[in-house]
């Protein structure tokens, strides 16, 4: 299927190329919506489609006005500040709790391992609207609803499964004799952790952190319920913009978010390969 043998019949040839065309179309379906919004965000008009000027590559058809709008509107700037102040703290919480727990879970002698795992992964599986509703009820009872701290806790809970999954995956290939060697050479457990184990699982921890960060940074349902106007994040502002009056500023924001995603994706991929190389799992 990878290459066409010289003896292939006409039918096989047609199928071979048809299959690639089908796959190409599916890739197009995956990527086109994301790519299309980028040029549209430079539209000089308040339209959501390509103007004739844009199609003829007339410089007058393009402008940065939607970007200026984003940087000049206090609503958007406040939302950006909120997002930036919530996501890192939530990430820090998920990563520190999550990494410790993942190390604990990787030990062979954990009782109820499956059940614990199921509980820890559940924030990823339970529909967001249910988590949001439950948190809204419960956080109102304990006075966390509508506070910065409440949103941070909620987002940290949502990010934990990602940290657990990535860190446990890195620990699967972890050679336990290294920690034993370190211990036999006189290092205490804390030193062993920071000098031997941590550097080796660091790529997994960082990928987990990036996942947790993007989860919090993109999250809208929970923050809609747990937050109040003071915690309005970027996705929240986009959600309002999309539901009420859809303004092309959203496309500018979307383009910037795609760029951030590309940066994060690249980092995660580099880390993954590095980690696999460190553990000798992949020839790459």
Partner 1 sequence: MSDATAATHQETDAQGRLLAADGTPLKRSLARALRRQKLRALALIAPLLIFILVTFIAPIADMLFRSVENEIVADTLPRTVVALKEWEYASGEAPGEPVYAALARDMTIAAEYKEHTRLGSRLNYETTGISSLFRKSGRGVEDIGEFYQDQFEDLNEAWEEPETWARIFGSDAWLDAQAEEGAEATFSLRDGVAEAFPNTAEIYAAFAEFAQTEDEDNPFEEDPWPLAYAMLYEDLSGGAGVQGYSGPEADLLQEAAAAVGGFESQSYKAAFIDIDDDWADIEVWGTIKAYSPRFTSGYFLNSVDLQLTPEGIERQDEDQRIYGLLFKRTMFMSLVITISCILLAYPVAFLLANLPMRISNLLMILVLLPFWTSLLVRTSAWKVLLQQQGVINDVLVWIGLVDDANRLIMINNQFGTIVAMTHILLPFMILPMYSVMQTIPPSYVRAAKSLGATNWTAFWRVYFPQSVPGIGAGSILVFILAIGYYITPALVGGTTGTFISNRIAYHISSSLNWGLGAALGAILLAAVLILYWAYDKIVGIDNVKLG
Task: Show contacts with partner 1 in window 51-80 (CB under 8 A).
Answer: none
Q: Is position 101 an interface residue for partner 1 (rule: CB under 8 A)?
A: yes
Question: Is 202 near partner 1 (CB under 8 A)?
Answer: no
Per-residue mark of binding to partner 1, 6-25 (x: CB under 8 A): ------x--x---xx-xx--
Which residue in the block uniquely carries the two structure tokens 């549209």?
A: 40
Q: Cα(first)–Cα(last) distance of the chain, in Å? A: 24
* Angle at CA of residue 185, ends 177 and 172, nearest 5°: 20
Q: Of the candidates 72, 134, 143, 230, which one interacts with partner 1 according to CB under 8 A?
A: 134
- Applying CB under 8 A, among 109, 185, 188, 245 the residue interacting with partner 1 is 109
Work out which of 64, 100, 181, 198 binds partner 1, going by CB under 8 A. Answer: 100
Cβ at position 255, least distance to partner 1 in Å: 8
Which of 44, 187, 202, 258 contacts partner 1 by CB under 8 A? 258
Binding segment for partner 1 (CB under 8 A), chosen from 45-53, 58-66, 69-77, 174-182, is 45-53
Query: Phi, psi (5° rounding) for residue 123?
Result: -60, -25
Distances from the Cα of 249 to the Cαs of 11, 229, 242, in angstroms? 50, 20, 10
In the structure, how many helices (H) and strands (E) does the chain have? Answer: 13, 0
8 A C-beta contact, residue 159 and residue 215: yes
The size of the interface with partner 1 (CB under 8 A), counted in residues, is: 97
Sole binder of partner 1 in the list 62, 67, 174, 239 (CB under 8 A): 239
Q: Which of 262, 270, 277, 281 binds partner 1 (CB under 8 A)?
A: 262
Give 3's Cβ-side CA count (13 Å radius).
Answer: 3
Rounded to a whole number of angstroms, the minimum distance from the CB of residue 192 to partner 1 is: 13
Interatomic CA distance for residues 182 and 239, integer angstroms: 52
């Amino acid at each position: 299927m990878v290459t066409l043998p010289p003896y292939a019949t006409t039918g096989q040839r047609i199928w071979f190329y048809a299959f690639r065309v089908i796959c190409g179309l599916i890739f197009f379906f995956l990527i086109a919506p994301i790519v299309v919004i980028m040029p549209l965000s430079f539209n000089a008009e308040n339209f959501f489609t390509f103007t004739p000027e844009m199609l003829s590559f007339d410089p007058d058809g393009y402008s940065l006005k939607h970007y200026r709008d984003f940087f000049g509107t206090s609503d958007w700037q406040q939302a950006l500040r909120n997002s930036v102040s919530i996501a890192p703290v939530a990430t820090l919480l998920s990563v520190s709790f999550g990494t410790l727990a993942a190390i604990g879970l990787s030990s062979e002698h954990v009782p109820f391992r499956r059940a614990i795992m199921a509980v820890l992964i559940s924030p990823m599986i339970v529909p967001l609207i249910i988590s949001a509703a439950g948190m809204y009820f419960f956080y109102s009872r304990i006075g966390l609803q509508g506070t910065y701290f409440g949103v941070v806790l909620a987002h940290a809970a949502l990010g934990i499964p990602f940290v657990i999954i990535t860190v446990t995956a890195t620990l699967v290939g972890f050679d336990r004799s290294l920690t034993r060697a370190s211990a036999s050479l006189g290092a205490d457990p804390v030193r062993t952790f920071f000098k031997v184990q941590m550097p080796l699982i660091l790529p997994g921890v960082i990928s987990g952190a990036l996942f947790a960060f993007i989860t919090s940074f993109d999250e809208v349902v929970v923050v809609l319920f747990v937050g109040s106007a003071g915690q309005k994040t970027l996705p929240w502002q986009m959600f309002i913009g999309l539901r009420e009056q859809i303004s092309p500023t959203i496309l500018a924001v979307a383009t910037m978010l795609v760029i951030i995603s590309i940066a994060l994706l690249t980092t995660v991929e580099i880390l993954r390969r590095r980690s696999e190389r460190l553990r000798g799992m992949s020839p790459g």
